[in-house]
Amino acid sequence: MASIQKYGDTRPQFGFKRRHQGRVSPYFLGAAGFVALAIICWPRWVRWLTQDSDAMTASLTNDPSLVGEGAQNIIMRDEKGQKTWEFSAKSISLSPDRQFYTATDVNHAILFRAGRPYLKLSARQVRLNQITQDLAAIGTVSATGPDGFSVRTEQASWQHQAERLDCPIKVHATLRGFTFDTPTLFYDMKKSQLHCPKQVEIQSARATMRGSNAVADAKTRQVAFQQGVQIDITLPPR
């Protein structure tokens, strides 16, 4: 936190020695130059002093050079000032072209919708494009969202414009009380639909379904298969 220290007597100590002396003290010139520099740089100084000491703020509408490397936390905002992403990680670095952030040992990454938390994610490494807001995560990826949605996998990517989470390799997922084990899937958050284009095993409290090309809808709470399906039902005891 910035502080202002008082350095004793504030009365002028430098200036003209005599009323009619023609030469200005070099100390006076130095002080005047410092004041001019302070006025020019004031907007940046205010930004630095008002930032949280443990967090840096990046905005697509501000100069990205004000964002430093090695921060433990970082917040991304849109042009309206609303949060889009928030990260907490062991280390965060900015690429030389100032387009990509790379975070390692990510404790949590939060995606916001309309300024509210929507999707929470953790991973060994996350790479975020601050222009498109797209994200790629690798290594022990875990994500949770609304409607009981969750995924556990080793690789995932977020397409911000499409609002779609892709898991291209083996993944375990949940949605509305169902569990999904499949080689690949994607979640369309606009439609609240989970798509499993390949072979998938879906379990509920009393049934196990196996098939291909399945779509689970969180709104209707229904699962539809485009190809043959096998259903094993567990009946309750009499």
Q: The CATH number of the domain where 230 resides is what?
A: 2.60.450.10
Name the domain boundary from 117, 144, 171: 144
In a domain, residue 233? The reply is: yes
CA distances from 82 to 72, 106, 112, 131, 197 (A): 20, 22, 8, 15, 35
| Same-domain status, 174 and 200 | yes
| Same-domain status, 172 and 207 | yes
In a domain, residue 101? The reply is: yes
| Same-domain status, 157 and 129 | no
pLDDT by residue, tens only, the chain of 238 residues: 333 333 344 444 434 334 444 554 555 555 555 545 444 444 433 333 223 333 334 433 333 433 444 447 888 888 888 899 998 999 999 999 999 999 999 988 999 988 899 999 999 999 999 899 999 999 999 999 999 999 999 999 999 999 999 999 999 999 999 999 999 999 999 999 999 999 999 998 888 999 999 999 999 988 899 877 777 666 566 5
| Same-domain status, 87 and 137 | yes
Residue 41: what pLDDT? Answer: 47
Residue 48: what pLDDT? Answer: 30
In a domain, residue 20? The reply is: no
| Same-domain status, 170 and 209 | yes
| Same-domain status, 227 and 159 | yes
Largest pairwise CA distance in the chain: 112
Distance between CA atoms of residues 26 and 189, nearest Å:
66
In a domain, residue 22? The reply is: no
Residue 22: what pLDDT? Answer: 52
Displacement of CA 203 from its chain's centroid (Å) = 32
In a domain, residue 30? The reply is: no
Residue 176: what pLDDT? Answer: 92
Residue 89: what pLDDT? Answer: 93
| Same-domain status, 129 and 154 | no
Distance between CA atoms of residues 104 and 233, nearest Å:
43
In a domain, residue 49? The reply is: no
| Same-domain status, 128 and 63 | yes
> Where in the sequence is the domain holding 195, given as residue range(s)?
148-238
| Same-domain status, 79 and 140 | yes
What is the number of structural domains in the chain?
2
| Same-domain status, 160 and 123 | no
In a domain, residue 229? The reply is: yes
In a domain, residue 207? The reply is: yes
pTM of the model: 0.68
Residue 32: what pLDDT? Answer: 53
Nearest to 85 by CA among 56, 117, 131, 51: 117
| Same-domain status, 167 and 103 | no
Name the domain boundary from 106, 124, 144: 144
Name the domain boundary from 103, 126, 144: 144
